[in-house]
A and B are shown apart, each in its own frame.
Chain A
């Protein structure tokens, strides 16, 4: 059974650019959540997808958007990057029968210059 994978591992962008981060869920998991972890902080919930629909959103502006695909993989898109978007972006997946247990991927570290 493969765990949650994310790509790329590291990324450098400049202010104003757009970025797409990718996540493959753990096998059998149909729910994906995205979190942003700034340096020295705990992760902050961005949004969750279930059956390709957004199923809850945290306090993030609309320039943070996502997609979930029929194979349950997911993308996080961030437009008009700001310096404060520099963070570790974590994806977590869970199954429909055990939504209370979320398993995290290794994350994508984004640096905005």
Chain B
């Protein structure tokens, strides 16, 4: 079945860049997503990338996709304390089936 793997923890200093990595196994994944979850809250869609793209940039966020290696990364430039949260990688097959398969999440801690 589908599987999405992420490292569980990442700690960075305020002002540095953060890079959160994710690998997935389903070669039919059409869309890949990054969601952010703050304590006690729901999920906030940060960005997503279509599988025929290599990169997507949105303000401080850069998503890189290596489809050959099934590797997705999220880079947050100039990381702020407000970026402290759990970041989930997710994939969906698309084409009529948009159910999301999530990783376990990476907890990002930003040190002032």
Contact = CB atoms under 8 A, between A and B. Distances in A.
A45 B88 contact: no
Interface string A75-100: 00000000000000010101000011
Given A56-B99, A101-B48, A42 B42 contact: no
Interface residues of A, number: 25
Given A40-B104, A41-B104, A104 B42 contact: yes
A74 interface: no
Contacts of B30: 100
A103 B97 CA distance: 16
Contacts of B111: none
Report the contact-size class of chain B (Cβ under 8 Å from the partner): 20 to 34
From DSSP, what is the main secondary structure of chain B's interface residues? strand
Interface in B38-85: 41-45, 48
A50 to B, nearest CB: 10
A100 B92 contact: yes
B9 interface: no
Contact of A58 (B4, B41, B99): B99
Interface of A: 4, 31, 33, 35, 40-45, 48, 56, 58, 90, 92, 94, 99-107
